A = this chain, B = another copy of it.
Amino acid sequence: MVQKSRKPPSAAKIEAPVAPKRRGRPRAYEPDVALGKALDLFRRDGFAATSLDDLSAATGMNRPSLYGAFGDKRELYIKSYQRYRDDARAAMVDIFRADAPLRERLERIYRIALDIYLSGESGPRGCFTVMTAASEAVSDPGIRSMVVEGLTELDKAFGICFRDAKERGELPEGADPAALAHLASATIHTIAIRARARVPRRELEAIVKGAVDVLCAAK
């Protein structure tokens, strides 16, 4: 379970806690949980293999409601992807920012990543960014740019990590933080892919351990 609660934690605006007194017939669904269900489906089967009927069944919303709430299938996919990114970022940002040794930060990031990639009632689901890159990204410019953004965001987060590890003397003078960051991202990608091939967690953890050893001792 990666999804965090949807309550906006902003301190301003204390009002509208539960009853904004809307005008017409009330919704029979909660948009956030419905979007979560849609994301689950898309993560398992991908865009093309997920039908609106599947989505309708999973969310409990009938097709017109789905359409009204999220737009067409592509828009729903995009919103699902944004949700995925938000959740993943929320799960990792604290660790990336933590004032902890490099090795510990890497280990924690990869543990969270494995949790995300291996979760799912009907099998591991991998990384949605990687899945989307592998499918829609070539042909859909809008989706592609989101994917690039996702890839870049991860590179940057790792980049900062290695850069300040180097500043703190945890890495040798000659170490190249950008290159190490790309290798750290690559490790994320490889475990995401292997997770979908149902490689067991123990093996993925071994790959991660080997990578962390190399990355912490590099050059």
Contact = CB atoms under 8 A, between A and B. Distances in A.
Interface string A144-156: 1001100100000
Interface residues of A, number: 49
A183 B187 contact: yes
B137 A176 contact: no
A210 B176 contact: yes
Contacts of A44: 138-139
A64 B135 CA distance: 28
B190 A210 contact: no
B186 A148 contact: no
A137 B117 CA distance: 14
Tell me the number of copies of this protein.
2
Contact of A179 (B135, B199, B211, B218): B211
Nearest to A180: B214
B182 A207 contact: yes
A131 to B, nearest CB: 5
B197 A186 contact: no
A18 interface: no
A189 interface: yes
B196 A182 contact: no
Q: Quick one: which of A124, A176, A179, A182 has the most chain B CB within 10 A?
A: A182
Interface of A: 44-49, 122-126, 130-131, 133-135, 137-139, 144, 147-148, 151, 176, 178-180, 182-183, 185-187, 189-190, 193-194, 196-199, 207, 209-211, 213-214, 217-219
8 contacts: A46-B46, A46-B134, A49-B135, A131-B134, A134-B196, A151-B194, A186-B187, A214-B219
